Structure formats: C-alpha cells, structure tokens
Structure 1
C-alpha cells in the first residue's frame, strides 16, 4: 500500500434495536425476517450477549427488495 492511500471503511455494525429502527420494524420482526426471509442478512454474535447486523448488508437487502414493511 502506498503512502496516502486510504483503506476502505469497514461496514458499520448495528445492534438489533438500531437495525430494526433503520428498517422501520420491531426487533421481533427483525429476528423473524433473519430466520424466515430468503436473502435477509443474518446476525453475527460477537459474544454471548452481543449480536450485530452489518448496516451495508441491510441497506443492500432493502435496495434489492424495494420498499420495506
């Protein structure tokens, strides 16, 4: 990597409440969609008590699926 070259920004990780707010749905619906909707982004467990969704993946799903909720 040459001097002055920027690294790509990593995707922002959202907690379930923030991910649900981004999509305009409840957290229960967020988890239901992650289990039942084909192509919906799956959550990542960072620890026993911390689960996150990738913001870029959620935005890509919305763009592909069209209007949400």
Structure 2
C-alpha cells in the first residue's frame, strides 16, 4: 500500500482531495479482493468488500459531477 501511495495526487483542494480518496479506496478494494482470494491469514467479509466498492463508486460519481 505504501508504494501505491507514492502515485496518489497531493491534496491541495477539494477536487484533488476527492481524487486522492478515490485512489486510496481503489487500492484498498484491490488489497481486500487480493487478500480474500490469496491470503489465508486475513479474511475479508464479502459485505466489507462490497461496502468499500460502494464508497468508491460514490466518490467516483461525485468526482465526475464536480469536475
């Protein structure tokens, strides 16, 4: 996750803050799906993955409407 954070945009205003949040949530969802499929030490509930997915869709939609 740290290496992914190096490519996230800096939060300078509301628009870039939302873009950074979308990047963070997208990477978090990827990690959750990867852990569910490949990592037996961490178990992500399907509801938790779906909750993160809905947050991403919500902020992506707001990002499209706002700019």
Q: Same fold (TM over 0.5)?
A: no
Hey, which of these two has a bigger chunk of helix by percent? 2
Please say which structure displays the higher CA radius of gyration: 1
Structure with a larger share of its residues in strand: 1
TM-score (ref. length: structure 2): 0.30
